[in-house]
Amino acid sequence: MGIVQCYHYFCMISLGILVVLAVACLVRCIIGPRISDRVLGVNMIGTLVIIMAAIFTVAMHEGYLADISLVYALISFVSVVLLCKIYTGIYRERRHEEARLAGEDGDKPVDIEEAEEEAAQK
């Protein structure tokens, strides 16, 4: 058994381990009790896919796969930023609803920037 064959087995074993970890992250995304668990799971899956593409690049000696992994990294980053933005909006909406139900005067969603401006004017 030569060094090239050992190297090939090492790449395949590490890809198998990464697939198992990606499935574990997918399970966390599905059953995660909080939205932050789901966002974190999606981010981890994206990172694992990037690592898998990098290992495929090395194992198959194909340079274009590195470009694909870079593009996927950008897409993954944008998707996590978008999910965090959505999560922040949901959180603000819930805070507004809780404040409305508690009888506090809150006709519009809580806006941190407006509260800071009002505090600065006083």
Domain extents for the chain?
3-121
- The Cβ of residue 23 has, within 10 Å, a number of other Cβ atoms equal to 12
Query: Does the structure show a pLDDT above 90 at 120?
Result: no
CA distance 44 to 79: 12
pLDDT of residue 70: 93
Query: Does the structure show a pLDDT above 90 at 2?
Result: no
Residue-wise pLDDT for 21-77, tens only, equals 999 999 999 998 888 888 888 899 999 999 999 999 988 888 898 999 999 999 999
What is the rounded end-to-end Cα distance, in angstroms, of the chain?
78
> Tokens 């990098």 map to which residue?
54
Please compute the mean of the pLDDT values over residues 96-121 and round it to a whole number. Answer: 68
